[in-house]
Structure 1
């Protein structure tokens, strides 16, 4: 059974499987704050949350972001809305749960994710982040905030190690 699941996952991810622009799936795993695994038609699909970037493992609030996602959607059936884009074998999408709440936006509102402006020009996500910044919510309550993409780059270049 385990091998079958792995083979199905590889088949979907390696072939850039076609999925509808909107579908329902059950959440079977939470990788981190911005990556989850869902089961769609008995096939696992890894989803990268669109428009956002959560703190990396080792950064402040990374565990809280993952826990927020887990508490919100793990084991539930969610609505996945996507534009058919895949990146690093992950479907880029927004996830809706509990009476049409947008998980991606909830993370930004709660200061557990930043608007990923390199890949998103959404004014709505920019406004949500600005409000969280002003209210010093989540990561914005810290005296020094390092964007996840800056953290990854610095870690790759071994520029610093965050405590």
Structure 2
């Protein structure tokens, strides 16, 4: 009889020890030791991401670099001092890539200056996409902004430019049916973008 009581006490003690051990593993300090590490890692990752997003932009006016990419007819990438800078041609607006003549404008811009050393002349202004807004002049003195209008692959962006010279060049290109002006119903890119936004809004409201 004494042996049975002893055996029961041993089993009860073992069960209590097992329960205590499980409780320690689930709720003990070991569990909490690892939690801050995960949180610290998340905080560090967020701080690194935030730091990357807030990299200060260079203050650029006139600089010289190599054209390494043509995004579309009026947006290029210029490598300056080892860093790429997106440049938006001032005073003009080219057809979008998915718009009629958009690919033609991109190809013409590429023929003018891709892979060449150019000088970017800017007031230091950047647009909402953080692109440097300026005029690009090639080493052989071609004004790319002016040339895009002259060839009929860009509009004079009169909403942002009052240049009489560019307005005159556009009129001459239109009269000569150059480039996109071969289409009597050519649509200005700002109107095309507005129309696209309106359609997108209508779809989202359905």
TM-score for the superposition, normalised by structure 1: 0.86
The match for 1:155 is 196
Q: Which residue of 2 aligns with 1:31?
A: 71
Cα displacement string for residues 72-113 of structure 1 (whole angstroms, at most 9, x for unaligned residues) = 111111011111100021000100114211001000000000
- Structure-1 residue corresponding to 2:96: 56
**Among 118, 135, 146, which residue is 2:159 paired with?**
118
Structure with more relative contact order (C-alpha pairs < 8 Å, separation 6 or more): 1
Deviates more, 1:108-117 or 1:150-159: 150-159
User: Whose Rg is larger?
Assistant: 2
Structure 1, unmatched stretches of 5+, are 1-6
Equivalent residues of 1:95, 1:104 under 8 A apart: yes
1:122, 1:15 → 2: CA distance? 32
Name which of 93, 106, 114 aligns with 2:134: 93
Preserved CA contact (<8 Å) 1:16 1:86: no
For residue 15 of structure 1, give the secondary structure of its aligned residue in structure 2. coil
Q: Is the 8 A contact 1:14 1:89 kept in 2?
A: no
**Correspondence for 1:41 among 54, 72, 81:** 81
How large is the Cα RMSD of the aligned pairs? 1.8
1:60 Cα deviation from its structure 2 partner: 1.6
Q: 1:143 to 1:14 in 2, by over 3 A?
A: farther
Counterpart position of 1:129: 170
Aligned residues: 149
Runs of 4 or more consecutive aligned structure 1 residues displaced over 6 Å after TM superposition:
none
Larger helix percent: 2
Deviation at 1:22, TM superposition (A): 1.6
Shift of residue 15 of structure 1? 2.5
8 Å contact from structure 2 (residues 119, 139) kept in 1: no
